[in-house]
């Protein structure tokens, strides 16, 4: 029961984070092509101000709920690293998710900019990969 509840929380928080990345990468990029530079800057700063209130928190919830789900789902650590394919994919998914989480927390809460891939395109691609991994798992 608590697994299902946490999984629901995980899916909703991921939904908010991925929705933000979708809008940022696809909708705002399109606007950039049609709006004047000043107008685009204004729209972007509005978007940043409004999303800043919720998106970083959703990412933190996604990571914390993910860690709990991982703890329940992963099963026992295999001897001699004989991971099942589920465990291998889950490990990969968790590493990518943690990377996104750490990157986002450092950026938003501590003002430390990412060392590589500074834009929002990499998180967008990673989220798509993570969603595929979660379904193949």
Binding-site ranges for ligand HEM (CB under 6 A): 7, 10-11, 14, 17-18, 62-63, 66-67, 69-70, 73, 90, 93-94, 97-98, 100-101, 127, 130-131, 134
Of 56 and 66, the one with the shorter C-beta distance to ligand HEM is: 66
CA angle 20, 22, 26 (to 5 degrees): 125
Q: Which of 125, 97, 120 is nearest to 11 (CA)?
A: 97
| Residues in CB range of 20: below 8 A, 6 or more apart | 51, 55, 58
Residue with smallest beta-carbon separation from ligand HEM: 66
CB of 84 closer than 8 Å to CB of 78: yes
Tokens of 117: 């891939």
Of 29 and 128, the one with the shorter C-beta distance to ligand HEM is: 128
Min separation Cβ 137 and ligand HEM, Å = 6
Min separation Cβ 38 and ligand HEM, Å = 33
Min separation Cβ 97 and ligand HEM, Å = 3
Of 28 and 96, the one with the shorter C-beta distance to ligand HEM is: 96
Min separation Cβ 56 and ligand HEM, Å = 12
Q: Distance (Å, rounded) from C-alpha 71 to C-alpha 118?
A: 31
CB of 56 closer than 8 Å to CB of 104: yes
Min separation Cβ 40 and ligand HEM, Å = 27
Tokens of 91: 């490990």
Of 16 and 35, the one with the shorter C-beta distance to ligand HEM is: 16
């Amino acid at each position: 029961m608590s697994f299902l509840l946490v999984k629901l929380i995980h899916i909703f928080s991921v939904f908010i984070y991925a929705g933000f990345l979708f809008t940022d990468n696809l909708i705002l990029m399109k606007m950039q092509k049609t709006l004047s530079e000043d107008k685009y800057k204004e729209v972007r700063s509005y978007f940043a101000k409004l999303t800043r209130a919720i998106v970083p928190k959703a990412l933190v919830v996604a990571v914390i709920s993910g860690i709990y789900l991982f703890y329940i789902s992963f099963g026992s650590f295999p001897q001699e690293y004989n991971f099942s394919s589920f465990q291998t994919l889950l490990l990969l998914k968790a590493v990518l998710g943690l990377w996104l989480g750490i990157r986002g927390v450092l950026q938003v809460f501590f003002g430390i900019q990412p060392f590589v891939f500074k834009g929002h395109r990499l998180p967008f691609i990673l989220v798509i990969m993570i969603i595929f991994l979660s379904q193949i798992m």
